[in-house]
Structure 1
Amino acid sequence: MNALLRLLAWLLALALVALPVVAVLNGWVGAERFPLARLRVSGQFERVQAEQLRAAVAPHARRGYFAVDLHAAQRAVERLPWVESAQVRKQWPDVLEVRVVEHRPFARWGEDRMLSERGVLFPLPPDLADARLPRLDGPPARAPEVVALYNEARELFAPLGYGVAELGVDARGSWSLVLDNGTRVVVGRDDARARLQRFVRVLPQLLAGQARPLERADLRYTNGFTLAWGRPATRDSSFHTPASAQARAKQASST
């Protein structure tokens, strides 16, 4: 009996010591004695507002320095528009530090998303709906491939004075792009880089002395391209050729 009483007394003493610690760590007591009174924000960002950050972390900071849930606060910040990643930590005695990395848009992705410079897809912000950015598209898992081919295509066409406005790959793996002058280039599924290189090499010859704009080029051929020409820039429509007229262009290497 004496041993049981001693055990109960020991457990009671342990509880009396541990309970205040548990209460403080869980925010049951002590929040007013150890408050998080200051928010310190760092990082290079332009679109995320300090008021948004304060509102995101406030529910988690009310429980005080010892009971703040840093992981929950971090997740709340990362759910904000334009936030790519965040780090939340506390500094004694009353500071909550938030470091933010903001999405830096690289291109439009599909109809309702953006691709950041780090290759992260995020919802299209309303203020960028009309932004002049390249338009990329494809299965999200293939985003690195899309970006790589876009960069290569941009370098290929730049010496000719063209930019790449759109580039994408469909569900079947077929590539296509649109130049900034409106020309659509259907590349196909196989050897996309080699086909583009071959097309760029002969494009000046195809356009030489041609009054009509090139509307579409289909590169899905082994020994040539199928070209669709538009109407020439003239007021006299009697000399216009049909927009659907097509001509076969042989590769320079095959002539």
Structure 2
Amino acid sequence: MTRAGAIRLSGWLLALAVLAVPVVAVLRGWLAAGQWPVKYLTIDAPYTHVSAAEVAVAVQPLLQKGFFAVDLQRVRAAVAALPWVAAVEVRKRWPNTLVISLREHQPWARWTGNRLVGADGDVFSVPAAQMPAALPRLSGPPGALPEVIAFYRSAVAACTPRGLHVAGAQLTARGSYTLDLSAGAHIVIGRDQSQQRLARFLAVWPQLAARHSEMFVYADLRYANGFAVRWPDAQVPAVTPPSTPSAGNT
């Protein structure tokens, strides 16, 4: 390329650069928040525990840059951080609307402290003032939730036909189970042969209930050949067990 040609090419490049500056400036202004603001927020939700106002307050600071600059990931994270929100979908609708669809947690039980278990098995937390009262109470070591849920459900299926309503289940760090009944009674089952021990107790329960007008206070099934039952009037246990529970079941 000749020197004259190089000079002409440099001149063209310089001219294009000069022209590009106002074009970029125009585009930036055209895409700015003032030109394309988000005017409408559409929320699709059941509104059982989460209100439209809560969602609007959570996302409002993220809408200030306008329609094109809205970060959908940040909006999704802001809504997902609200109590009771289980899943969120966010999308833009031309020319000025943000659409948010959310699914709420469906509480099924309380789990170890002030956490909740959803109908799909997910664990979540809500403010203490919003904690539902009439839920089964489950507790156990970290990672034991699936096992406790399975035991609770099997216990409910076994106890309900006998007129015993299970309100909760506890699993200790040593693997010992206790059932809590809605009437306030407790059934200590232990950690070995829990299903068989509960079945043995339930087989005798109708005869025991026929002899007592009140619900028992405490039943200890941790015996090799029987169980002990304590009644409100401190009567002698209905089934006399050995003097101590069988080894390894405390």
Specify the TM-score bucket, using the shorter chain as the normaliser: 0.7 to 0.9
- 3-state secondary structure, aligned to 1:48: coil
Is the Cα–Cα contact under 8 Å of residues 45 and 100 in structure 1 kept in the other structure? Answer: no
Structure-1 residue corresponding to 2:247: none
Q: Tell me the SS of whatever aligns to 1:41.
A: strand
- Asked if residue 5 in structure 1 is aligned to residue 6 in structure 2, the reply is no
For 2:144, which of 131, 138, 142 is the aligned residue?
142
Residue type of the alignment partner of 2:100: V
> Cα gap change, 1:15/1:220 in structure 2, threshold over 3 Å: closer, same or farther?
farther
Measure, in 2, the Cα distance between the counterparts of 1:15 and 1:201.
Answer: 88
Aligned residues: CA RMSD: 3.2
Count of residue pairs brought into register by the alignment: 237
Q: Work out whether residues 45 and 101 of structure 1, in 8 Å CA contact, stay in contact via their aligned partners in 2.
A: no
Partner of 1:126: 128
Deviation at 1:198, TM superposition (A): 2.8
Shift of 1:241: 4.2
Stretches of structure 1 that go unaligned for 5 or more consecutive residues are: 233-239, 251-255
Would you say 1:111 and 2:113 are equivalent positions? yes
Please give the secondary structure, in 1, of the residue aligned with 2:240.
strand
Q: Give the 3 Å change call, closer, same or farther, for CA 208–75 of structure 1 in structure 2.
A: same
Partner of residue 228, structure 1:
229
Instruction: Decide whether aligned partners of structure 1 residues 101 and 165 sit closer, same or farther in structure 2, where only a CA change above 3 A counts.
Output: same
Taking only the aligned residue pairs, the percentage that are identical comes to 38
Equivalent pair of 2:217/2:232 in contact (CA under 8 Å): no
Name which of 209, 212, 231 aligns with 2:211: 209
Which sits farther off after the overlay, 75-84 or 213-222? 213-222
1:77 corresponds to 2:69: no
Equivalent position of 2:174 in the other structure? 172
Q: What is the DSSP-based 3-state SS (H/G/I as helix, E as strand, rest coil) of the residue aligned with 2:175?
A: coil
* Residue in structure 2 matched with residue 192 of structure 1 by the alignment: 194
- In the superposition, relative to structure 1, how do residues 111 and 8 fare at CA in structure 2: closer, same or farther (>3 Å)? same
- Alpha-carbon distance between aligned partners in 2 of 1:169 and 1:21, rounded to the nearest angstrom: 66
Give the match's secondary structure for 1:224: coil
CA offsets 1:145-174 (integer angstroms, 9 cap, x no match): 222221221111111122111212122222
Moved more, 181-190 or 14-23: 14-23
Give the letter for the 2:10 counterpart: L
Q: Is 1:68 matched up with 2:73?
A: no
Partner of 1:153: 155
Q: Distance in 2 between matches of 1:110 and 1:179?
A: 17
Q: CA 1:206 to 1:241, structure 2 compared with 1: closer, same or farther past 3 Å? A: closer
TM-score, normalised on structure 1? 0.78
* Residue-by-residue CA offset, 1:169-214 (whole Å, 9 max, x unaligned): 1222221111112221112223333332332222223334245642
SS at match of 1:98: strand
Determine which structure has more spread, i.e. the larger CA radius of gyration: 2
Aligned-residue offset at 1:110: 2.5
With over 3 angstroms needed to count, the CA separation of the structure-2 counterparts of 1:14 and 1:91, relative to structure 1, is farther
Q: Deviations over 1:117-167 (max 9, x none)?
A: 122222243344472221111234222222222122111111112211121
Unaligned runs of 5+ in 2: 243-250
User: What residue number does 1:248 align with?
Assistant: 240
Matched, 1:52 2:57: no
User: Match for 2:87: what amino acid?
Assistant: S
How many angstroms apart in 2 are the aligned matches of 1:201 and 1:68?
64
Find the aligned partners of 2:214 and 2:55 in 1 and give their Cα distance: 55
State the shift of 1:13 in Å.
Answer: 7.6
Given that 1:37 and 1:95 are in contact with CA atoms closer than 8 Å, whether structure 2 keeps it comes out as yes
